[in-house]
Structure 1
Amino acid sequence: MSGRALLRAGLGLLAGTQVVPALWILLLPELFWKWPWVSHLPPYNEHLLRDFGGASAALAVVLCSAAAALERRLVITALVAYLVSSVAHLLFHAQHLEPLSAASGAGFMALLGVAVLLPAALLWLAAGGAALREPERPVRRPAP
């Protein structure tokens, strides 16, 4: 698989990891709240959940745009934005594992770790070139 194809597939996968929970949260926030990895941190706050769902949907838009365009600055920006979110998510949950069983906590940390390692690997690939498009430069015309 070429670097471009790998980046496009990775960006699409990351976008999917945002679209699914975003739709779930925006359409059924109470059902999302009942998920064991979420509900152990009460109280329920529909406003914050819907804000998080909207932010996840917005990040999915950026990731999808990067996957479609494969333009260097957009890809790097999308991956850095995803990394900022996923590192913050991992750090928070790493400090709040006590309500979970050992197996559930380990699984959750593994999942959140992949959410950091995958975009980091894709960022490394993108920074190395991966045959990404360079941004188009406007043509400067001499003044008449």
Structure 2
Amino acid sequence: MRWTIGRDGRDRRDGLVRAGLGVLAGTQLVLGLWVLLLPELFWKWPWVSHLPPYNEHLLRDFGGAGLALAVVLCAAVATMERRLVLTALVAYLASSVPHLVFHAGHLAPLSAASGAGFMALLGTAVVLPTVLLWLAASRGGAEAG
């Protein structure tokens, strides 16, 4: 059964899900383009440059993957089709959760303030899609049930 998340915009939750998806899509688009087109500039960012040696191929692949995720998120924003929204959010979490876990274990080179800021940023990249997933899934359950 096809179900769309509030095309008519009557449900405030639908607007929050759409806006949140837009934020995630925009973030992935900017990050993906930055890493794909300017990998050395991305590498010089203090939160990145403390990791193992620079690898242009790996960074460009990471940028391309970020753009691919942005495409899926943009499609979810445009259609607000329930399965696509849920899939896009789960895909985002499949990337952001291991990213957070990895960096949480590699904070030693950073100052306490920088590490805390970095963890807050990466934590937001897990909390926001989790909340959006809950909102989208609970809306679907109410409609379908």
Give your verdict on TM over 0.5.
yes
Secondary structure, in 3 states, of the residue corresponding to 2:139?
A: coil
Partner residue of 1:140?
A: none
Distance 1:68 1:127 in 2: 18
Distance 1:97 1:106 in 2: 9
Flag as ranges the 4+ runs of structure 1 deviating above 6 A: none
The CA RMSD measured in Å over matched residues stands at 1.7
Partner residue of 1:45?
A: 55
Does structure 1 retain, via aligned residues, the 8 Å contact 2:82–2:140? no
State the one-letter code of the partner of 1:31: L
State the one-letter code of the partner of 1:54: G
Does structure 2 retain, via aligned residues, the 8 Å contact 1:87–1:116? yes
Distance 1:55 1:78 in 2: 13
User: Which of 54, 75, 84 is residue 65 of structure 1 equivalent to?
Assistant: 75
Q: Deviations over 1:47-93 (max 9, x none)?
A: 00000000000000000000110011000000000011110100000
Does structure 1 retain, via aligned residues, the 8 Å contact 2:39–2:60? yes
Secondary structure, in 3 states, of the residue corresponding to 1:41?
A: coil
User: What's the % identity of the aligned pairs?
Assistant: 75
Partner residue of 1:84?
A: 94
User: Which of 5, 10, 32 is residue 22 of structure 1 equivalent to?
Assistant: 32
Greater Rg by CA:
1
Does structure 2 retain, via aligned residues, the 8 Å contact 1:3–1:130? no
Secondary structure, in 3 states, of the residue corresponding to 1:99?
A: coil
Give me the TM-score of the superposition, normalised by structure 2. Answer: 0.88
Distance 2:140 2:132 in 1: 10
Partner residue of 2:7?
A: none
Q: Larger helix proportion, structure 1 or 2? A: 2
Distance 1:9 1:128 in 2: 17
